[in-house]
Chain A
Amino acid sequence: MAEAKTIETKKYTRMDFVSDQAVRWCPGCGDYAVLSQTQKVFPDLNIDKENIVFISGIGCSSRFPYYMNTFGFHTIHGRATAIASGVKIANPKLSVWVVTGDGDGLSIGGNHTIHLLRRNLDINVLLFNNRIYGLTKGQYSPTSEVGKITKSTPLGSLDRPFNPVALALGADATFVARTIDRETKHLQSMIVRSYKHKGTSFLEIYQNCLIFNDGAFAPMTDKATKADKVLWLENEQPLLFGPEKNKGIRLVGYVPEIIELNGQYSVDDVLVHNEKDYVIASMLANFTYQEEFPDPIGVLYAIDAPVYDDMVEQQVNKAVETRGAGSIQELLNSGDTWDVV
């Protein structure tokens, strides 16, 4: 059936979101792709430009706000989520976007990230994960694999890495998704989904650092391996992957296993993705770093939950409604007073 085409009059074009600042990332950096897809897809969101705020911390990706012709604030290391919280609570009408990285958002700013997620402010977090510290020239990050040889770990890193989507789920995030810098269409669709989610949306973006960690996500982006290594998530669709979509995930009890649809198993045996199911989301999240499983890419989890900034607003309105708008003079004059004549 042919879809009825609606002709929307868009207020903006991509160029409306391009600022006058020269972009200064290394040639070939994955950040370019994310910036350009963002600028491309933003006209589709149809938000008044003056109501958009980009907040970032410190790191390569945190230069992002300078290149978006919206309101922007390039702040300090790790604090973008907390500053964005202040912006959003102060004016819930704004569309607030946080640009952060694996170091900024998960290491120095880890605390603010988890608390933003549990509070569920209506803020969109784009977490650029390149599994390395780029701006400080190549130390391992909290998402680097164990044994990573870097300038600060010449004998190999010892720390186990964070799995950002599992961390977000653990922090009670209401929207958890993952995409890849090179998958431009998917990236765009995930930005749109993030925007549409009411509450904090956590979007991890696999982003290649050409200089210090080239190929970190190669299995998920190389033509030869990608089909086997990426599990594209579609809500209410079976979890299929492989070059011919001939492999699937099924549950045996609560243990996931890979099956081949070769006669013994059919698509009916394959687990169907449900974005509202926390157990499925957790299971999928834990495929990350497991050699035998493909990496889940797409929306892992999306539920509706009360939104913090709305509730703050409601409390203020309720207080005004029940007590009347406060007058400082009345407040000053209240309590036990006496007159000196």
Chain B
Amino acid sequence: MSKTLKNIDDVVIRFAGDSGDGMQLTGGRFTEATAIVGNDLSTLPDYPAEIRAPAGSLAGVSAFQIHFSSKNIHTPGDKVDVLVAMNPAALKVHRDELEPGGMLICNSASFTRKNLTFAGYESNPLEDDSLEDSFKVFAIDMSKIVSEACVDMGLPSKTVERTKNFFALGLLFWIYDRPVESTKTWLRKKFAKRPELVEANIRALNAGYNYGETTEIFTTRYQVSKADLPPGKYRNIVGNYALSLGLVAAAEKSKLPLFFGGYPITPASDILHTLSALKHHNVKTFQAEDEIAGMTSIIGAAFTGNLSVTASSGPGIALKGEALGLAVIAELPMVIINVQRGGPSTGLPTKTEQSDLFQALYGRNGEAPIPVIASSTPGDCFYVAYEACRIALKYMTPVLLLTDGYLANGSEPWAIPNIDDLPPIEVKFADTSNLVDGQFMPYRREKKTLARPWAIPGTKGLEHRIGGLEKEDGTGNVSHDPDNHHHMILTRQQKVNNIVQDIPPIEIFGKNNGDLLILSWGGTKGSCRTSAEELQAEGKSVSHVHLRWLNPLPKDLGEILIRFKHVLIPEINLGQLIQVIRADYLIDAIGLNLVRGKPISTGRINEKVNEMLGN
């Protein structure tokens, strides 16, 4: 029979299954194929904290969402158009987010009595009308089909069963007209030493593709044409990877060795993994005995003249707190990355949150100002990491960089930058020309930035001592003098304030004044931007400003805020930026605070804006 080919603009697919079903991998392959087609895309992995919760349990459901489009998009999508549910638990967890009329593709083989009971179903939903009423349901015995496809291979049935995700992938490739060849190449490389696995997975992939092509169940294929992205060379990039490359880029541009000290923690560990494989870029990685040693080792490496970085998540940053104070008073350059996750305590380790802004701004004893920068998209992690390094080195200060679980694991198409276009990073170590009457003054500052000289061990004639005790301005000697202490407190604060001279003017998305301004920071940028686009298209007077620097805030922020009747600040916390804004600018900003371990949806922002505008 003939199949219709339909052009659509925008699709959200969620692959969901048991932790062992390979959903992250399936999503990853679909993403690569989609990138090659040239769509704009945004992904959101959503995996459980347990490595392998009991098979078939609700706790063990792992999902991967991809939003792709022929238009420019900024979020992984609110509502799901296609749900692939590999077992009853996956269906149970995710069905509420499938759009009415959406496509539901299930592996019927896994809808056994045992799995159904485990997921809390009294009867098999594939066998009654409960799903058919709401969705287009495709119940396919994937296990049986892949076993038939591999029948002559003599592989253990368990091995064959594990290829069923490639069946699902092949089917989705067919439905959305994606190329299969790159996935086959990838399989050949991945299982180079196990040709039988290459063969079995390719057979499963083909079986899925052909299932769409030949059976009469699927009548329509969809085409999502290329997005109109700016010209350039592109790749798909995941946040933590982009961030790691940003650090390596800063090291190369500053001509400094990169030292990374850290301790494994979700969702930051991939930075350690990535960097540890890049030693040929003059990178040293140190997996320390704990978070404190991760932090203090980078203080040592910074003292010694390396570009020094650590990465963790909220609980680890809490442990690093005391040492951050030492970094502040020692005035050494380094970057501390917090890939935020759900808190408090162990909280939701694999889910996203923005609740560590206060921790970043204030989480230390004493007056210990640290510049805070936040990335806004997976690809932006590269630029923010680079900028954090640049500022740390220019101002001789620790810099805190905030990302979150969504940015860290999410991905998007990314125009590969030309390294020559990045701002220069110039580092000049102190030498004997810094001596004043034969004496080295470790706290004699550069006038414009207030940065102190970086005099590293090994430099003849510059032997000096620093430490955590308050120091006398200039000499750096221990001082308990009240006036000196007050002066040093003010000076360290002023140095951080001076970074404002490196922050470009704010770009307002929309009109420069009007009814409502959406103000965002970090990973909520995409939802806020989409919301502003949609509301502007409806003719509403809504603009959007996104903050990259949280400390210091851009100098033109105050004058912009007062030009709007309302200011809305959506955050995945109970209102942290909003307190800063209210305190600094005395404006009656309103918050939208949803702390659900997920990005805030565009729909919820739109609702809130409409409510505020009295619609």
Contacts and interface: CB of A to CB of B under 8 A. Distances in A.
Interface of A: 19, 21, 48-53, 55, 58, 65-66, 68-77, 79, 82-91, 93-94, 111-112, 115, 312, 315-316, 319-320, 322-329, 331-333, 335-341
B467 A339 contact: no
B558 interface: no
Given A70-B463, A91-B305, A94-B457, A340 B230 contact: yes
A336 B32 contact: yes
A303 B614 CA distance: 79
B457 A53 contact: yes
A104 B322 CA distance: 15
B590 to A, nearest CB: 39
Given A82-B300, A331-B248, 9 more contacts: A71-B465, A73-B467, A74-B465, A83-B297, A85-B300, A89-B259, A90-B305, A112-B293, A325-B282
B235 A71 contact: no
Interface string B203-236: 0000000000000000000000010011111111
Contact of B300 (A21, A50, A84, A341): A84
A287 B229 CA distance: 75
A328 B252 contact: yes
A338 B234 contact: yes
Nearest to B277: A319
Contact of A74 (B230, B288, B468): B468
Interface string B260-296: 0100000000000000001111111010111011001
Contact of A328 (B231, B235, B245, B467): B245
Contact of B322 (A76, A82, A87, A88): A76
B465 to A, nearest CB: 4
User: A74, A93, A323: which has the most chain B beta carbons within 10 Å?
Assistant: A74
A339 to B, nearest CB: 6
A90 B304 contact: yes
A332 B248 CA distance: 10
A325 B288 CA distance: 26
A86 B281 contact: no
B264 to A, nearest CB: 15
B235 A335 contact: yes
13 contacts: A73-B303, A73-B465, A85-B297, A86-B298, A88-B300, A91-B456, A111-B293, A326-B282, A331-B281, A335-B235, A337-B234, A339-B232, A341-B231
B600 interface: no
B392 interface: no
| Overall SS of chain B's interface | mixed
B466 interface: yes
B417 interface: yes
Contacts of A322: 280
A66 B465 contact: yes
Contacts of A77: 322
A300 B457 CA distance: 32
Interface string B448-473: 00000000111111111111110000
B457 A91 contact: yes
A340 B229 contact: yes
Return the 5 tightest CB-CB contacts between A and B, nearest first. A86-B300, A74-B467, A326-B281, A86-B297, A72-B465
A50 B461 contact: yes
Contacts of B35: 336, 338
Contacts of B281: 325-326, 328, 331
Contact of B416 (A74, A76, A323, A333): A333
B38 A340 contact: yes
B290 A90 contact: no
B160 to A, nearest CB: 28
Nearest to A95: B457
B477 interface: yes
Residue among B289, B298, B323, B457 with max Cβ neighbours from chain A (10 Å): B457
Contacts of B417: 332
Nearest to A53: B457
B179 to A, nearest CB: 11
B300 A337 contact: no
B459 A50 contact: yes
A94 B300 contact: no
Given A73-B466, A336-B35, A91 B304 contact: yes
Given A89-B286, A91-B458, A82 B280 contact: no
A74 B613 CA distance: 57
Nearest to A69: B463
Contact of A336 (B36, B226, B297, B465): B36
B419 interface: yes
A86 to B, nearest CB: 3
Nearest to A51: B458
B458 A111 contact: no
Contacts of A93: 458
A73 B415 CA distance: 43
Given A66-B465, A75-B296, A336-B32, A316 B308 contact: no
B249 interface: yes
B297 A324 contact: no
A70 B440 CA distance: 12
B147 interface: no
Contacts of B339: none
Interface string B470-502: 000000011000000000000000000000000
Contact of B464 (A72, A85, A328, A329): A72
A69 B464 CA distance: 7
Nearest to A50: B460
Interface centre among A65, A315, A327, A340, by most chain B C-beta atoms within 10 angstroms, is A340
B563 to A, nearest CB: 36
Contacts of B322: 76-77
Nearest to B466: A73
Given A86-B308, A316-B282, A338 B296 contact: no
A83 B300 contact: yes
A53 B417 CA distance: 40
B257 interface: yes
B280 A337 contact: no
A328 B248 contact: yes
Contacts of B70: none
B293 A82 contact: yes
A335 B28 CA distance: 14
A85 B415 CA distance: 39
A46 to B, nearest CB: 15
Contact of B467 (A65, A69, A85): A65
A340 B232 CA distance: 5
B409 interface: no
